[in-house]
Structure 1
């Protein structure tokens, strides 16, 4: 007789993947007009699933290489999406608010987070520097309710445009500071011995390379696709394959040359999206990327929920909670609001731009990248505080984003 109800690991993986894919298709639609955001629901499902089915101690430190690759992929997909949403990338009005957030808020946040990590959590100096670098960038993946419109729609919201353009660039600009922490772990805290090399290679050269390749690859890809194919043939080009090429080609080329692929991907997508006559096709690329992004986000935040459930003690650790809430309610909002003084934004717009610096998958990537590149003391403690901040950020920002969304258009019109 054949064996019935024989459970193989491979089939279990397929079953889990199918369930998560179904959730990724349904939950964003259900939560679209609800208080709960999709990432919050995924985390709750992960927490519930742990207590119902798993009951084992999940140790992510054993899977850093896998975590790095998965988070890297979802971030570059999200950066392509963010770039496609920027309608006018060469206008000063697109960047005048987000540049303040990038030039003022990001470095001050790095310093503040590093100090809190060292002072309250007790992280080693190099590890505290890494904490500052990975927690500073806002996430292009999350809080999509507060990102700007689809490519075919005009950027009428100063809030959404500011948050989208900031998230699109600061994920790449966090790399030099991550390398600063890596060099500190490898070469010691005698910073004067290696800071010159850091400034030349990890700040100047790598950023310039990324910008050049991003501009060139975006322009070349546009010419290849929209000049070679006649208008009547454009609808026959697979949006999925084209979207992946727009994401993977700039990223891979830049990384192989030695630049920052995150910056190149975002810039290439900005170049690609600036031609209004092809808005319909840009919408198609954007929609495919969002579908792919939704699937991976579901996986990541269900796993995050499992981690939180199996490490529940981090949510009752006074030091961890203190740092997380100070970062979310004090550091980013205060520095962000002060940086926007003197702009033409009203008080509500300043508040939203400063408060909604959501932390998420980008921080996990930088954490995994650094931990697979150098040995950091207190790495487990660093992982715990990072996940705690992401958990509280997703929860707090996710539960309030829908209500804020209702007020955005009223205040953007003033």
Structure 2
């Protein structure tokens, strides 16, 4: 028998199909913001379910590599798939996780799993495109209300965000890099506020900038970055950190361009006018926090049945943050603790509803994204207060990282208390209850730091 005919045997063909299925699943998960540990684990579950053990997955931000080394001495197989960015779709993400759970049980034939994955990738979005644009603009409106802006400011923030989003879409269709798309969106968002200040509008126009900035901040990549670092995936964590850095740089550049021009043209901008969220548990603040959460959830295509739990998480994180402020806890620590509370809540809900925890946690932390600190920092730099500006920008970065660390801490607390995700569910075998063995987790290896 020739070598070419051996390569076409059914066993070899099924091996390739199983690896291709695992790579496609990994691409969908990574593109939706899942951590490297989750992606690699899901790919191994797929290959194990279809008789391809001894696989190793190498996941980074732009490519996924899957290698199979047969135990019988056959030729090893390595395949790679590039990860291309697309709009995060949490409805699709939930469906992929459900498919992984069912296939890992061994009850779904390979052909059916492939068909299900094709159906998932081709499914119509749960919300139409115009609704997503509206949701993105409502993030800005809700954030502007949260920091003390009124109805007119909310409308201005809505318009500014729509203009920025449409300008970014126009640039994207012409192949302009995403960095400059975000910069242009930030320029337009801050320009609307500067124009309102220039004409003397009797409102807190700076709240427009804060709202527009919050809609651009990378909450999802920040959480994934910290998650990868804690899990020991330092290469991917570093890549995600650079992604966050470039997004923040684009936002800061856009604001800085507008503010620099406004100050040089004599627009009366002062640091004292920078809005700050009134740290009170009042209906308008809770409305703003819940509005930010729901708008983020819709923009991330969270299905309707999970919107109410996400809103509960958004209200919870804001109330905890305000109470910690009353107790005079430092801002960064209060942010981390509040994010940990919502991380614990989101992980518990995810365990019960069998969905990824990020469906709840990522929208819920939206109200704590450091839009005000970013705006204050760039305004201070533009006014010549370099030291104070750097301090504000450093606080914004610290707050962002505290959000990511807090969310992961909440999930780790649940893991430590319940053993979820570390052991499979307890099952009965006759009169005895048998606990299955621990799932291997490299991040849990005890090294004592050396």
Same fold, TM-score > 0.5, yes or no: no
TM-score (norm 1): 0.28
Higher fraction of strand: 2
TM-score (norm 2): 0.27
Q: Which protein, 1 or 2, shows the higher relative CO under an 8 Å CA cutoff with sep ≥ 6? A: 1
